[in-house]
Structure 1
Amino acid sequence: MPRKWSKEIVVRHILERHRGGKKLSSDYMQKNSLPLYMAAVWYWSGWRQAIEGAGLNYDDVRIKTPKRKVVWNEKIIVQTILSLHKQGEPLNSNHAQTKHPLLYRAAYVYFEGWAQAVTTAGLDYGSVRKKKPMRAWSKKAIVAEILRRSAEELSIRGGNVVFQDRGLYQAAKRHFGYGGWAKARMLAGFPPVDPLPWEVWSKETVVKEILRLHKNGVELNAGALGETYGYIRSAGEKYFGSWGTAIEAAGLDYLKICKNKPKGWWTKPRLIQAIQSLDKQGIRLSSKAIQKSHGDIFATAIRKEKFGSWSQAVEAAGIDYRKHCQIWSTKAWLRRMSNRDYKKILRAD
């Protein structure tokens, strides 16, 4: 993380936002105040811990959406429409379908259509279905809107703006041409792009974070990281070339962590190492047992380009395969008998 952050500074920023009546929910902070959120995760191991470290009740800052089942009828539908109208919400069909799908469907059940429901509520559907006038954009207006978003701590990252205010983003492209949003940001006094999350990393901090997550019981295989911990995987791949190399640089066994091995992972030396490791753990290395417990190792080892058979793979690892088999057929016993053993039997006869 940037040097300006510390536990105390994170707490101070949280308390300032709290005193100012600003939102502190995890989802809101990730979208609108990512540097503070990342600093909290880094220094406090999580946003909840940072909130509680600031002496606040985490449940009080979460966005709570009470779920209750609405029993619709004509009266409730009309009251809901009037309430939305009073709050200034658009009542056109598209908005209703997107934001209030249950209400919209109920209107079709009781009024045979959304227009009839709005009309029954005493409103002129012809006026509510009209689209709002388009904003008049100019270079000056675009810059002013960027400054407003920044002042209100709304994201000005292009990837976020394109979803939150597509009209603004498209206007920047029209008025500034290629790379319009970056040019508009620069004109507003901001760098063309925000630094990506992993640009604050180094090899040392990547290793430190991997070990911290491992200590906290986080699954570190690539599939389990998902979006929540995707930042560390991106940083690991950037600085070490691959996630597996980053894991091993942290002193962890990637073989144990990676559940689904990438293509080409199982080389002969790695197979031998894995077989020897299983033997040290006291795991029975019979063909039947390994197929059930470590099918990926078995399937790779018996390939023609590897060892050709499981017994050959075990023997290549310096392990006596016969010790791991409970019942031997006569054919298998003779096939694995050494010349010395065979001569002993002949002498005995």
Structure 2
Amino acid sequence: MARRKKWTRKRILLTIRKLHEAGEDLTVQNVQRLGLGGMVGAVYKDPALGSWKEVLEAAGIDLNTIGGRRRKWTPTRVLDEIHKRHQGGKDLSHRAVRQERQYLVVAAVEFFGSWEDALRAAGLDYDEIRKQETWTKAKILRRIRELAAAGEDLSYGAITQNHSPLAAAAGNRRHFGSWGEAIEAAGIKYDEVRRHREPWDRERIIATIRELHARGEDLITTNIRKLGYRTMEYAARRQGHFGSWRGAIEAAGLDFDEVTRLDKAGRRKRHPKVRLRRVKPAPEEQQGEEDLRERKAS
């Protein structure tokens, strides 16, 4: 059984600063409500730490902001935060979110009863999310090569932002120990990845969109990201390029609603169901069927 991490002065100050940056109310009552009662208790048990007020001051917090700075958690805010993580391609498993955004999980459970119910309320498939991807060395290398072939930015910063599960798996000691080592093992020079990256300029974006369209790919953003072109999509949205994904599609000479399969109301088009119409047999065929039925009956 893993030992609990001790609430040291350094850990307490770091946690308080993180809460402050997240816009949380730093009153004792709210910090306890967030599930950090152990930290509050540690402050009052250790005479060297003084009082809660003294600890806040030591963390560099302006006491005049306490109690009035909090962004209140609401069901809407919880769903918005979930959607932001989903759109950013971040891991939405309970374990990952609890490590990165503990207070989001606490609020989700408070309003929806469980993290699973909060995800379902956000319109996400919980069964898909909870499937933990099993990474092997071979799978990591294959994925790196796929991203390289798609023109993705393979720098560590871009990968942690756009493909965090891959970055974490590559950095695992059981695999490569670092992202740089994984890149080298894939036959790519990491120094080249860091220094020389082909930019997604307007011409390259347009050419890639046309190429994907010619291959029959659905150009809606979720599919573009799935194909490994997240960096291109982000570049297309920049004001210096097209300002939006729609703008990039139209600059490539394509009809946005058609290639993303949206109807006029902005909803996903459904493929029409094919109905098979019963064809009436020719008179001679019909007579033959009747003769066959009579023979079977006799």
Report the TM-score when normalising by structure 2.
0.28
RCO greater where, 1 or 2, for CA within 8 Å and sep 6 or more? Answer: 2
* Rg (Cα) greater in structure: 1
